[in-house]
């Protein structure tokens, strides 16, 4: 076995090695290939697997023999090939058969080694990034409670009055513009639908019917109706009104039923005053965490965008496959088939794989750039920090520090995980300390507009990258 050529593709993190294999080295692998072929082919006059090689050659393509034999050879000589190459694989290797001479029993193969990713850091200090904040208002608390009340609201039939705003009305609706159309049952929540229809139904009683001219706005969700004017015949069948729950101690007990236990000395709200205080605090915590996460994500994204990162496609292929398998197992665990899930959400396998691949690429880049900064800044976990973390985790498990340390010493993975947690936190603290942070009040409309603009820019960049890769 001789290496006759080596090609390195740094931007793809690949090393291609052409290996020449002599007939003596390849002989056992070729025999295995013919033996495998013999078991799969029916040859007149011979029992399956018993035909001699010179007969098999008339039925088997040399390409099959070469590829099968090469796979067998690589499996047996993998460590030797890697040693000869002087490279360390970062992902699963592959091969191509360049040439196989069936008469001489020799072969030339290209062995493809995905090598370690390459990271060149850009600016990671002095990064300008916004950090949003929002103070929870009484209106926010009321809006959340209104949602809870709506979830607990039941409907009750109305028999002694006409339709009013807020009622749930079930009616038969016929399209007068279509002579062949037949009345179809529809449900209306008066005050939440098309204004012309809702206003026409308000005041009608059970059994009443009338023609209604309805104008639809240009941005109506159903494109077939958007911007059009329709003529309907409507007959009211049944009227229901909302019956909200009584806001009392039983309501709050039901609201927090099944919620996690609170720390000793604290309990969930039992009345409106307690709820307003509790909800405001919890919503503020939620907003603060949400904006903190947004801030960190944006800071990391800018740092990663400033870096140049090369990695082998094979590692992304592998991570995408594993990610899709985890998702498939999750869906199956929910009692669904993946095909049914995709159909329900109007997805195709290609769309899902593309999404998983995009996520894995972003996560890999973030991990690689983060690791490079940690190395450059010599960020490490000190013995004091490890000791403090062990003590905290031992207390959380109601264990003594000595017993917990003994358990960690027996499990090297757990010890590494603790050190990684500390280093990750110190890394994040470091990049935040070195960032230029601007505090800004959160404006939802402005944020949505910026998000849409950023999404358009990202999609354009992705399309340009895909076109270049295809070229």
What CA–CA distance (Å, rounded) separates 16 from 377? Answer: 34
pTM comes to 0.74
The pLDDT profile of the chain, 471 residues, written as one tens digit per residue, is 888 888 888 888 899 999 999 999 988 998 888 888 888 777 777 777 677 778 777 778 888 888 998 999 999 999 999 988 888 898 889 999 999 888 888 999 999 999 999 999 999 999 999 999 999 999 999 999 999 998 899 999 998 999 999 999 999 999 999 989 999 999 999 999 999 999 999 999 999 999 999 999 999 988 889 999 999 999 999 999 999 999 999 999 999 998 898 888 889 999 999 999 999 999 999 999 999 999 999 999 999 999 999 999 999 999 999 999 999 999 999 888 989 888 888 888 888 889 999 999 999 999 999 999 999 999 999 999 999 999 998 888 888 988 888 888 888 888 889 999 999 999 999 999 999 999 988 877 776 666 666 666 666 655 555 545 555
What CA–CA distance (Å, rounded) separates 236 from 238? Answer: 6
Copy the structure tokens of residue 290: 């949400």
CA-nearest of 46, 22, 20, 51 to 34 is 51
Give all domains of the chain, ordered by start, each with its CATH number: 2-116 (3.30.70.1050), 154-243 (3.10.50.40), 281-470 (1.10.3120.10)
Angle at 296 between CA 359 and CA 360, to 5 degrees: 10
Q: Are 407 and 450 in contact (CB under 8 A)?
A: no
pLDDT in tens, 264-289: 888 999 999 999 999 999 999 999 99
Residue by residue, DSSP assigns 383-422 as HHHHHHHHHHHHHHTT--HHHHHHHHHH-HHHHHHHHHHH
Copy the structure tokens of residue 262: 């609170």
Give the CA dihedral 439, 440, 442, 447, nearest 10 degrees. Answer: -110
């Amino acid at each position: 076995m001789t290496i006759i050529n080596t090609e390195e593709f740094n931007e793809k993190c690949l090393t291609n090695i052409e290996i020449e294999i002599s007939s003596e080295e390849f002989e056992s692998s070729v025999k295995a290939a013919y033996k495998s072929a013999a078991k799969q082919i029916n040859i007149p006059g011979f029992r399956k697997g018993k035909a001699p090689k010179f007969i098999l050659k008339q039925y088997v393509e040399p390409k099959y023999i070469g590829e099968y034999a090469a796979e067998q050879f690589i499996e047996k000589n993998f460590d030797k090939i890697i040693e000869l190459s002087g490279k360390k694989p970062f992902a699963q290797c592959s091969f191509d058969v360049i040439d196989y001479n069936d008469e001489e029993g020799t072969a030339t193969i290209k062995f493809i080694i995905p090598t370690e990713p390459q990271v060149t850091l850009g600016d990671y200090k002095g990064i300008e990034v916004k950090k949003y904040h929002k103070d929870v208002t009484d209106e926010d608390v009321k809006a959340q409670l209104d949602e809870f009340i709506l979830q607990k609201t039941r409907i009750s039939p109305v028999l002694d009055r006409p339709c009013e705003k807020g009622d749930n009305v079930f009616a038969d609706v016929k399209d007068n513009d279509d002579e062949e159309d037949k009345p179809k049952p529809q449900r209306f929540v008066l005050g939440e639908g098309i204004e012309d229809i809702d206003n026409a139904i308000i005041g009608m009683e059970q059994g009443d019917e009338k023609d209604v001219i309805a104008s639809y706005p240009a941005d109506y969700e159903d494109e077939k109706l958007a911007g059009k004017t329709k003529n309907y015949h409507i007959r009211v069948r049944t009227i229901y009104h909302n019956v909200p729950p009584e806001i009392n101690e039983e309501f709050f007990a039901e609201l927090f039923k099944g919620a996690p236990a609170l720390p000793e000395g604290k309990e969930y709200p039992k009345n409106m005053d307690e709820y307003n205080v509790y909800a405001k605090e919890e919503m503020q915590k939620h907003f603060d965490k949400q904006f903190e996460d947004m801030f960190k994500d944006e800071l990391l994204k800018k740092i990663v965008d400033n870096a140049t990162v090369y990695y082998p496609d094979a590692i992304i292929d592998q991570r995408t496959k594993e990610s899709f398998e985890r998702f498939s197992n999750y869906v199956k665990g929910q009692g669904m088939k993946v095909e049914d899930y995709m159909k329900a959400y109007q997805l195709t396998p290609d769309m899902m794989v593309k999404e998983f691949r995009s996520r894995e690429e972003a996560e890999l880049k973030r991990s690689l750039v983060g690791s490079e900064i940690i190395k450059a800044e010599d960020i490490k976990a000190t013995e004091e920090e490890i000791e403090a973390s062990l003590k905290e985790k031992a207390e959380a498990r109601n264990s003594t520090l000595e017993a917990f340390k003994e358990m960690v010493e027996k499990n090297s993975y757990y010890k590494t995980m603790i050190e990684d947690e500390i280093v990750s936190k110190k890394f994040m603290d470091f990049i935040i300390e070195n960032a230029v942070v601007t505090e800004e009040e959160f404006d939802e409309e402005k944020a949505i507009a910026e998000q849409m603009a950023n999404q358009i820019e990202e999609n354009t960049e992705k399309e340009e990258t895909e076109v270049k890769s295809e070229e």
